[in-house]
Amino acid sequence: MVNNVEKLDPRELQSLQLYLNEYRQQAEVFSQQLGILEEGRMETLGAIEALKGMEETGDSTVLLQLGGGASVRARVSNPEKVLVNIGAEVVVERSNQEAVEFLKDRITEMEASAKKVIETLDRVRTQMNEIGRRIEMGYQQAQMAQMGQMRPMGRMPAQEPEEE
């Protein structure tokens, strides 16, 4: 339907406009998913840096966020043991290094998911562009038809005399 170059009727233009609106909504959802994945990736990178920092410096004082913008300095009693959420609200105890490796794997998974979302978003945007071109062509055809009806019957547009 999108690649058809025949004259569009008003119902088809309206249908294409509806499709375009649906694709815009889908593109917005995929963009939001990308944002969520990027936030998760950045948060995980921060956790990796904090775990490495505690291991390297031996200082187990951390800034513990309580919520509502409030934080306290806290001392981690055993920085070598880390509790890691592995999914479905299941939390397991891992060594600091195992936790870092697990988080690195999680980043790899998020990056793979982001790549798939980007590919899907690109396909949606391509469809949006095709539909947008088709709508524009339909409006141009309608405008040309309207201009043709406005010209007086029986009169041809003035032509320039040919030079000899």
What residue spans define the domains of the chain?
10-142
* Other residues' Cβ atoms within 10 Å of the Cβ of residue 10: 9
What percentage of the chain carries pLDDT values higher than 70? 86
Structure-token pair, residue 125: 């945007």
The arrangement of secondary structure in 10-142, i.e. its CATH architecture, is Orthogonal Bundle (1.10)
Predicted structure pTM score: 0.72
| For residue 78, pLDDT beyond 50 | yes
| For residue 76, pLDDT beyond 80 | yes
pLDDT band at 160 (very low <50, low <70, confident <90, very high): low
- Whether the CB-CB separation of 82 and 65 falls below 8 Å is answered with no
pLDDT in tens, 79-128: 899 999 999 999 999 999 999 999 999 999 999 999 999 999 999 999 99
